Chains A and B, each alone.
Chain A
Amino acid sequence: AQSVTQPDIHITVSEGASLELRCNYSYGATPYLFWYVQSPGQGLQLLLKYFSGDTLVQGIKGFEAEFKRSQSSFNLRKPSVHWSDAAEYFCAVPSFRGSTLGRLYFGRGTQLTVWP
């Protein structure tokens, strides 16, 4: 079965610093991969997704992620963090039901704190 590992439970960075959040997946074939963000008291908002093609994916809010098959990774990056980026970040991989996507398997999340 698919699984996702986010090794870092909590990361703290200063505003303006660069950010990298790690995600490793376990999947038998070329995966589809997602990054979601959750602000306190809110649902999950899609940041970006990888389905195929270019391994560097651009998302909203200045985020990007790079799919590396050799490392089974899909790390999320941002060159300069803003205080409003403080939130919890989830990496996810879907199952397949025929040709459609089914349930998502989520990592446990990485809590990002941004110092002013």
Chain B
Amino acid sequence: GAGVSQSPRYKVAKRGQDVALRCDPISGHVSLFWYQQALGQGPEFLTYFQNEAQLDKSGLPSDRFFAERPEGSVSTLKIQRTQQEDSAVYLCASSPGRASGAETQYFGPGTRLLVL
């Protein structure tokens, strides 16, 4: 079946512009995660949804970052007034979210954001 998809794959923004990154999770997956991966680093957690509820946004670096998942499926990560330090790969992952303790996160290909 289809995996996690993200769009756009690449985004170049001028400093100060707003950007919106989209994630389409695997159909039926309850849990959705956003991570930020800076060059040469491991992914860092940004935020987590269970269905439409944002249960954890402790990783969002500033109030310029905002995420939503209004219908419990597609999610959008929005970055307002982009800064150069926002340049990174943004990864989306989904998991079934069953209360089995055994679910795995499946990752999309990422969106590479470059802020000039």
Check A100–B42 contact: CB distance below 8 A: no
Count of chain A residues with Cβ under 8 Å from any Cβ of B?
28
In the complex, chain A residues 41-55 whose Cβ is within 8 Å of any chain B Cβ:
41-46, 49, 51
Check B102–A51 contact: CB distance below 8 A: yes
Residues of B within 8 A of A92 (CB): 42
Check A51–B43 contact: CB distance below 8 A: no
Cβ contacts B70-102/A at 8 Å (1 or 0 each): 000000000000000000000101010111111
Interface centre among A45, A46, A90, A103 (most CB of B within 10 A): A103
Residues of B within 8 A of A109 (CB): 40-42
Residues of A within 8 A of B108 (CB): 43
Check B41–A103 contact: CB distance below 8 A: no
- Complex alpha-carbon distance, A43 and B110, angstroms: 6
Which one, A43, A98, A103, A108, contacts B59 given CB within 8 A? A103
- Complex alpha-carbon distance, A44 and B44, angstroms: 13
Main secondary structure of the interface of B (DSSP, over half): loop
Residues of A within 8 A of B91 (CB): 43-44
Q: A42-B109, A106-B42, A109-B41 are in contact. Are A100 and B31 (CB under 8 A)?
A: yes
Check A99–B99 contact: CB distance below 8 A: yes
The total of interchain contacts (Cβ-Cβ below 8 angstroms) comes to 68
Which one, B44, B102, B107, contacts A45 given CB within 8 A? B107
Check A102–B56 contact: CB distance below 8 A: yes
The verdict on B103 contacting chain A, using a C-beta distance below 8 Å, is yes
Q: B residues engaging A (CB < 8 A)? A: 4, 31, 33, 35, 40-45, 48, 55-56, 59, 91, 93, 95, 97-110
Contacts A36-B107, A43-B4, A102-B48 supplied; 12 other A-B pairs, CB < 8 Å: A43-B108, A44-B93, A44-B107, A46-B104, A51-B102, A92-B42, A96-B101, A100-B97, A101-B103, A103-B59, A106-B43, A109-B40
Q: A residues engaging B (CB < 8 A)? A: 4, 32, 34, 36, 41-46, 49, 51, 90, 92, 96-109
